[in-house]
Amino acid sequence: MVELTWLIPALPLAGAAVILPAGRRLGARAGWVATALVGAAFAASVAVLAELLSLPAADRATVVTVFRWIAAGRFAADVTLRVDPLSMTMALVVTGVGALIHWYGVGYMAHDPRVGRFFAFFNLFVFFMLVLVLANDYLLLYLGWEGVGLCSYLLIGFWHERPAAASAAKKAFVTTRIGDAALLLGIVLLWIHAGSLRFDAVLGGGTELSTAAATAISLLLLAGAVGKSAQLPLHVWLPDAMEGPTPVSALIHAATMVTAGVYLVVRSHPIFEASAVALPLVLAIGLGSAIYAGLASIGQFDVKRALAYSTMSQIGLMFFAAGMRMYSGAMLLLVCHASYKALLFLSSGNVMHGLGDETDLRRMGGLRREMPVTATWFAVGALALAGIPPLSGFFAKDHIVAFASTSGRTAAWVLASLAAFVSAVYIARPLFLAFAGERRNPGRAHEAPLGMQIPLALLAAGSVLTGAVLGWRPEGLLDGFLRPVTGALEHGEGGPSEAVLLLVSLAVAVGGVALAWWAWGSGRVEPEAFPRRRPELAGWLAHAFYVDDLYAWLVRVPGAGLGRALRLVDDRVVDGAVNGLGRDVARASRVAPVIQSGFVRSYALLFLLGATVLLLFLGSRI
């Protein structure tokens, strides 16, 4: 089965290839085709996993060559897929969650006139994401990286008649481009210093990279990861990306594409470890993004934007874990987050679907009565994210936060706990604002149909069980599975005991939810109260500390200046040349007729002049 690993990406690619030309004729059926293919890819992944598990742990790394891709002089690159625990984990997440979201999308996008195109792009995205995670070398990974960026652009701007959507798609592409350029530079540097781009050659544990080279390469790779995963400072595109359809937000901007950065860091960890500054920087960026985004999420009134910042915050925690060399911890959070974040997004999709595309929390409230099923799903997802045991998020986050303490990073532990607290607050807030209290919005809300609820049920099951099953302890099932790739966890000694850490995690989660209930759930459900009483603080939160505005200013001012300068050049130089040419010709042509005075004697003088010159000329030749 391992030899047929190429089927995993090939199936959604076939879907895209078939649906793109035939989309209009297929109509809504395109969704079923797409879902089926991703489901088949999931089945194939499971089969490959089964075969992988049948091998002893040390041998779980197979490279499957599919075909020769580039042969240019001394440089040759094959399309090679890597089957190892890390890649299969990612593949399963992508295909599993992806299939469920496709299923949901069939119902959600049913009335859209361009539904065929949607699923073609959706399948194409899954293809590229699978290429990214299954690649055995950085070049193929980069192909997938760029491909998911392209699909993200196409899908964010799916409703391209809306200027906001088109602009958001462009912004996403351009911002991640900065990271992508750095990533490409890092890959080139790696090629120069290591001579190969294959994982088995470069990451095999014998990296002969100098510290300087490793630092440069890892920083560049980190820049790419930061862009794709929407961490500080390249995060500004993610909230705007919510302009896309909700299934897009769920799949691309929650479960998969934005986690590609985490995958990249975890995969490249030998290079990062060879540098002294890379991993601390990863840690800092992760922690900073977690707290920053958490605070920003509290200030958002658009439920999808709140969830977007939440995603950024959770991925920050994944980076934080990776920065502490707790790679399996990061992956555990990644897997759990995929299911509960998708669940949260799709539940919001239900709410929007039921309220006629309403996303403003201020106009929701009391929906638990009219949409009880959706309320249940959202609650499950929110509590999982908040870290309430025994839901999955508790295990994932607790392990990471506790690891900060046990590895001796006390200050980081405090900040991480703070981040966890904030995350509990920010996710309980929309839960209460939307579903608790009374309806602030007139009109009828209707529950989503069954076809859209079944995928949510499965995701909810995942949100409940994944954490406990895969990560009961930090060295749980997932860690053991990933160990050949990620290495063992290095615990430290000292610090508070395990029980204390557990209690602190619990207190943080419950406390956060309680605070949110006190602020927004109980009687005082007035979402506008805080912004009215503290407008400046609310403004800072709502605008995410004005980072986006700063960037816009930084781009706009030089851009406008450059534009003005170029316009000046165009007016003066180019137009000047053209008009000047015309003017000069006209002026010359006004000068020329002076000779034609009409006076015979002047003409005669010219004759004489010419004759004299001619004689001179002839005379000189003798």
User: What is the contact surface with other proteins in residues (CB under 8 A)?
Assistant: 593, 595-602, 604-605, 608-609, 612, 615-616, 619, 622
Residue 263 is classified by DSSP as H
DSSP element (H, E) containing 63: strand 62-72
Q: Are 324 and 403 in contact (CB under 8 A)?
A: yes
Query: Least distance from C-beta 581 to other proteins, angstroms?
Result: 23
Query: Least distance from C-beta 562 to other proteins, angstroms?
Result: 49
Place of tokens 């929309």: 430
User: Is 245 strand, coil or helix?
Assistant: coil
Q: Which is nearer to other proteins, 58 or 592 (CB)?
A: 592
The residue among 278, 271, 270, 290 whose CA lies nearest residue 229 is 290
Query: Least distance from C-beta 583 to other proteins, angstroms?
Result: 21
Question: Residue 357 is encoded by which pair of tokens?
Answer: 């595309």
Exposure pattern of 51-76 as b/e (b: 16+ CB <10 Å)? bbeeeeeeebbbbbebeeeeeeeeee
Q: Could you tell me which residues are beta bridge partners of residue 360?
A: 302
Residue 393 is classified by DSSP as H
Q: Which is nearer to other proteins, 507 or 613 (CB)?
A: 613
Q: Which is nearer to other proteins, 499 or 600 (CB)?
A: 600
Q: Across the chain, which distance is largest between two alpha carbons, in Å?
A: 120
Query: Least distance from C-beta 577 to other proteins, angstroms?
Result: 29
Long-range contacts of 574-579 (CB under 8 A, 24+ apart): none
Residue 525 is classified by DSSP as -
Query: Least distance from C-beta 585 to other proteins, angstroms?
Result: 17
User: Is 408 strand, coil or helix?
Assistant: coil
Contacts of residue 384, Cβ cutoff 8 Å, sequence gap at least 6: 336, 339, 340, 343, 391, 392, 393, 394, 463, 464, 467
CA distance 480 to 74: 40
Query: Least distance from C-beta 594 to other proteins, angstroms?
Result: 8
Q: Which is nearer to other proteins, 54 or 596 (CB)?
A: 596
Query: Least distance from C-beta 600 to other proteins, angstroms?
Result: 5
Query: Least distance from C-beta 582 to other proteins, angstroms?
Result: 21
Q: Which is nearer to other proteins, 499 or 622 (CB)?
A: 622
Query: Least distance from C-beta 615 to other proteins, angstroms?
Result: 5
Q: Which is nearer to other proteins, 410 or 597 (CB)?
A: 597
Q: Are 106 and 233 in contact (CB under 8 A)?
A: no
Query: Least distance from C-beta 617 to other proteins, angstroms?
Result: 11
Q: Which is nearer to other proteins, 54 or 589 (CB)?
A: 589
Q: Which is nearer to other proteins, 585 or 615 (CB)?
A: 615
Q: Could you tell me which residues are beta bridge partners of residue 75?
A: 72
CA distance 82 to 66: 11
Q: Which is nearer to other proteins, 562 or 609 (CB)?
A: 609
* Number of Cβ within a 10 Å radius of residue 414: 14
CA distance 326 to 138: 23
Q: Which is nearer to other proteins, 4 or 604 (CB)?
A: 604
